[in-house]
Structure 1
Amino acid sequence: MTITERARKKAEKLDRLGELSAARDEERGVSLWQEAFRRLRRNPAAIVGSVVLGLFVLVAVVGPLFVPYGPTDTIGIREGLVKSGQGIIPGSSADHWLGFDHQGRDEFSRLVVGARQTLLVGVVSTLIGLAIGALVGGIAGAAAGLGGRWGRWLDTGLMRIVDMLLALPSLLLAVSIAALLGASLTTVMIAVGVVSVPVFARLLRGSMIAQSNTDYVLAATSLGVRRSKIALSHVLPNSLAPVIVQATLTLATAIIEAAALSFLGLGNPDSAVPEWGVMLADAQPYLGIRPALAIYPAVAIIITALGFTLLGEAMREALDPKLRK
């Protein structure tokens, strides 16, 4: 037997071993999340969204430690470079990459530091909506699917409250809550969080009701397992996938709505604290002089929201068999 024939037989043997290993892997199967992660790694939209979000989180967490100037330092006015009353607001330079704002503060430093405030508002408001919505939706879903007659009454009462919240436009509801509580960063978080409660509640309730009609729930009920244990140990964990995906999408909406409230003057009353929505509002009187002051935070908001949206849509495709490509 020649060396070439030996090498060919060895390669065929390795191929057969690889096929057997792959067959064993298929027999073992993978979990829903493992399969979703495999799909995400092959999805260009998920990769782009992950990169954008990774850069955003890195800038928000680490960036403020390395900014060249303090976000509240009025360097331009002290040096006589900025005279906003006379229409003089210098643009980019070697020392100030994005120039100054109308009060002589370094625009790049404020944009980087403002990312942390924007991330904080988006994450906290989403967590508020997720926690309250999951609580309401979980109770309603368990009551509707496993609770009998009284459970259906409880589900009906909770869902009518949720329907009333859904009937109101989200921004109008957020503005109303923020106006009642007073202008502050905490108010923005609460207002944006309350707006997202109905979405999470409806989604989790529907998912739990769908799970309640599956075979494993019927089997557990037939074996005498308590309904509360079935709901908490089986139905609820298997219903969380669409809620987690929705949380990713809601983060993008939360960032935009928080910026809108800050733009309307319902956010942090101290405009010296940089936040992208506040920076947009501050730039409005100077659009004719230096429109870049509004463009920088607007582009930052758009790119960040796009990153969350791309990742959320890719996760939804990976987790939903009907949407898989």
Structure 2
Amino acid sequence: MSTKSDKVDRLGELSAVKQDERGVSLWAEAFRQLRRNPSAIVGASILLLFVIISIIGPWLAPYSPTDTMGIREGVIKPGLIPGPSAEHWLGYDHQGRDEFSRLLVGARQTLLVGVISTLIGLTIGALIGGIAGASAGLGGRIGRAVDGVLMRIVDMLLALPSLLLAVSIAALLGASLTTVMIAVGMVSVPVFARLLRGAMIAQSGGDYVLAATSLGVKKSKIAFTHILPNSLAPVIVQATLTLATAIIEAAALSFLGLGNPDSSIPEWGVMLADAQQYLGARPGLAIYPALGIIITALGFTLLGEAMREALDPKLRK
């Protein structure tokens, strides 16, 4: 016949949770999924290499990226641009500058353009989407009105093709690297806004929202301290994917002549634009920066898609 102490011990055994069976957070589980995903590993490796080159590239460059040594040495002639050699691994560019040094130094400018333009789009888009999502969740006439006005503004931005919108903004502000960042950033604003608003509206029906409402917590506090943090996962994933498109769109604006007018400052998009006049003499001048842009964008895309699968339970394998 079991005693009271035996029953207590048995209940303790049943209620005990093993260390490996304890629940983990969404981000911890996502990180575990990413470590087992080959695409995530490849994408993260590419991005880590890109960031390292961006940071230490100017110190690794064997020559100054602005030194026109080829012209000074007389090796650059009309229709003749020397290719790779032992001293210059990727040869000269059209102004006699070392191409390899310019690629290394230009990685920092390319990363800077991608990150800052994405941050611009993320900040403005999250602000609009957060206010719209909170207003829609709060309900009421004022909340619905605020949500409607903000979403109509976003719809107008979405109605314009992204490249046309970026070109229009860049043309209005004038050609510069700062203009490229603003133009590319504004293109991604409606994407972040609609994504965050939709995520907040979906989260507003959660059980934790109902529990907080039952406890008498104000709706505005629920929206910004509970719903908003739980809605950021898809926005962060989208930011990773947007970095890839931002680098490509910035290169497109530079190719159209709306980037930094000072071509002596190396940036992959500007280098690609300058190379179009010399494709016959040195196609490598276009191939090298194009490969850099493609590989970097691929790294961001692979990591972003892997994060999407890891954070979305419906896509987990």
In which range does the TM-score fall when normalised by the shorter chain? Answer: over 0.9
Q: Distance in 1 between matches of 2:271 and 2:131?
A: 41
TM-score normalised by the chain length of structure 2:
0.94
The one-letter code matched in structure 2 to 1:51 is: S
Identity of aligned residues (%): 82
Task: Give how far 1:27 is off.
Answer: 4.1
Q: Distance in 1 between matches of 2:19 and 2:115?
A: 38
Q: Which residue of 2 aligns with 1:247?
A: 239
Q: Which residue of 2 aligns with 1:10?
A: none
Q: Of the candidates 14, 18, 22, which is equivalent to residue 24 of structure 1?
A: 18
Q: Which residue of 2 aligns with 1:305?
A: 297
Q: Of the candidates 59, 73, 81, which is equivalent to residue 67 of structure 2?
A: 73
What do residues 94-130 of structure 1 show as CA deviations (whole Å, max 9, x unaligned)? 1100000011000000011110000000000000000
Q: Which residue of 1 aligns with 2:50?
A: 56
Q: Distance in 2 between matches of 1:196 and 1:25?
A: 43
Q: Distance in 1 between matches of 2:22 and 2:224?
A: 27
Task: Give how far 1:150 is off.
Answer: 1.4
Summarize the alignment of residues 198-209 of structure 1 with structure 2, pairs less than 5 Å apart: 198-209=190-201
Q: Distance in 2 between matches of 1:60 and 1:182?
A: 27
The one-letter code matched in structure 2 to 1:81 is: V
| Aligned residues of 1:45 and 1:310 also touching (Cα < 8 A) | yes
Task: Give how far 1:26 is off.
Answer: 4.9
Task: Give how far 1:241 is off.
Answer: 0.2
Task: Give how far 1:148 is off.
Answer: 2.2
Give ranges in structure 1 of 5+ residues lacking alignment. 1-19
Q: Of the candidates 132, 148, 158, which is equivalent to residue 156 of structure 1?
A: 148
TM-score normalised by the chain length of structure 1:
0.92
Q: Distance in 2 between matches of 1:285 and 1:192?
A: 25
Summarize the alignment of residues 107-122 of structure 1 with structure 2, pairs less than 5 Å apart: 107-122=99-114
Matched residue SS, 2:18: helix
Q: Which residue of 1 aligns with 2:5?
A: none
CA RMSD after TM alignment = 1.3
Q: Which residue of 1 aligns with 2:312?
A: 320
Instruction: Please say if 1:263 is aligned against 2:263.
Output: no
Task: Give how far 1:88 is off.
Answer: 1.0
Q: Distance in 1 between matches of 2:19 and 2:91?
A: 57
Q: Distance in 2 between matches of 1:197 and 1:26?
A: 42
Q: Distance in 2 between matches of 1:285 and 1:162?
A: 39
Instruction: Please say if 1:135 is aligned against 2:127.
Output: yes
Q: Distance in 2 between matches of 1:147 and 1:129?
A: 27
Q: Distance in 2 between matches of 1:24 and 1:262?
A: 57
- How many residues in Structure 1 have an aligned counterpart in Structure 2? 303
| Aligned residues of 2:60 and 2:104 also touching (Cα < 8 A) | no
Task: Give how far 1:23 is off.
Answer: 5.9
The one-letter code matched in structure 2 to 1:320 is: D
Q: Of the candidates 81, 88, 109, which is equivalent to residue 80 of structure 2?
A: 88
Q: Distance in 2 between matches of 1:314 and 1:182?
A: 37
Question: Is the deviation greater in 228-237 or in 238-247?
Answer: 228-237
Q: Distance in 2 between matches of 1:264 and 1:274?
A: 16
The one-letter code matched in structure 1 to 2:140 is: G
Instruction: Please say if 1:217 is aligned against 2:219.
Output: no
What do residues 63-87 of structure 1 show as CA deviations (whole Å, max 9, x unaligned)? 111210000101111111111x2x1
| Aligned residues of 1:217 and 1:230 also touching (Cα < 8 A) | yes
| Aligned residues of 1:146 and 1:212 also touching (Cα < 8 A) | no
Q: Of the candidates 246, 267, 272, which is equivalent to residue 275 of structure 1?
A: 267
Matched residue SS, 2:90: coil
What do residues 37-82 of structure 1 show as CA deviations (whole Å, max 9, x unaligned)? 0000000000000000000000011111121000010111111111
Task: Give how far 1:223 is off.
Answer: 1.1
